[in-house]
Amino acid sequence: MKEKVEKALDEIRPGLQADGGNVELVDINDEGVVYVKLVGACSGCPSSQITLKMGIEKTLKERVPEVKSVESVN
């Protein structure tokens, strides 16, 4: 599952990088929760929670059905 998640994140990254940010995969637990770290401009952006849930989580759930949710870590 980690490879599938990384591949999906690779599809998301160009959009984040265009705004000066990025996302790093931290961990995936047995329940399908993906932990990511938003970096660069994304780490302090007021819209980061919207990006996390409506962008990253939505895309990962579409591409990797095993993903149940995405959480951000610092």
The secondary structure of the chain as a DSSP string is -HHHHHHHHHHHHHHHHHTTEEEEEEEE-TTSEEEEEEEEHHHH-TTHHHIIIIIIIHHHHHH-TT--EEEE--
Q: Which pLDDT score is estimated for 44? A: 82
Residue that the structure tokens 């000066």 belong to: 20
Q: Which pLDDT score is estimated for 58? A: 96
Q: What percentage of the chain exceeds 70 in pLDDT?
A: 100
Q: Which pLDDT score is estimated for 43? A: 86
Integer Cα distance of 16 and 13 in angstroms: 5
Query: The CATH number of the domain where 20 resides is what?
Result: 3.30.300.130
User: Residues 23-53: pLDDT tens digits?
Assistant: 999 999 999 999 999 999 988 888 899 999 9
List the domain range (segments joined by +) for residue 35: 2-72
Average pLDDT over residues 13-17: 95
Number of domains in the chain: 1
Q: What pTM did the predictor assign?
A: 0.92
